[in-house]
Structure 1
Amino acid sequence: MKKSKYNINTGRMLDHFLRKNNIAKSSLASDINRNKVSVLQYTENVSIQTGILIDICYALKYNFFQDLANALPKEFNHGVVIEPEKATKEQEQQALLAQLQEENKVLKIQNELLMKMKL
């Protein structure tokens, strides 16, 4: 697997957490329904699949994703991810708003012209 130059070593992060909190790999393996060898591999690999990491977060009641987010540069944007159906609705609302604003401009111009014609 090709490694990114921006990689954050999640295996080392997990290993450090387990050692710091004196948690046996076999205990974690049991909690996430995997064998001890798998957990050993997670700690030795530089990357862990997000689905597995979520299971680990729930088992250990610890948010590794927050640690990953904190490791990124501070200038990176963050916030709530918009779900596709919400994004579509928001895009439709934005398009409608733009259309109404354009119509408003046209009506203002027409109104000004009518007012000048009456004078």
Structure 2
Amino acid sequence: MIKNITITGVKYELNDTTKKYVERKIGGLGKYLPRHSRKSVTADVKIKQIDNTGGNKYEVEVIINVPDKKITAKDSTMNVLAAVDIVEAKLNGQVRKYKDDVLAHVGSSRGILAKLKRGLGRR
């Protein structure tokens, strides 16, 4: 769970349901982060209302600061909660990729050792 989430509204009044929804969705991405970075991760959420001629449009931008990297995603739709869902899906893939890059793969050297053991066993 991401604890440090800053939610700001630009030309948009934040209400309790939107805040809780954003905290649940974006905060839930913390379970996909490596354990060493969970303590120092912060998230900045900006919700902007764009006035169109056809109606209101909402743009959601999320910046997650993890050690040595910034993960960002942005989307705009006619509904705030739908935009949060889309951004959360985008961030999910990026966070998983970050975890794969940061963590050492335990099984990567196992193939070499197995070949060495097989070679020694034949003699």
Question: Would you say same fold, with TM above 0.5?
Answer: no
With structure 2 as the length reference, what TM-score do the two structures score?
0.31
Query: Which structure is higher in strand share?
Result: 2
Higher helix share: 1
Q: TM-score, normalised by structure 1?
A: 0.31
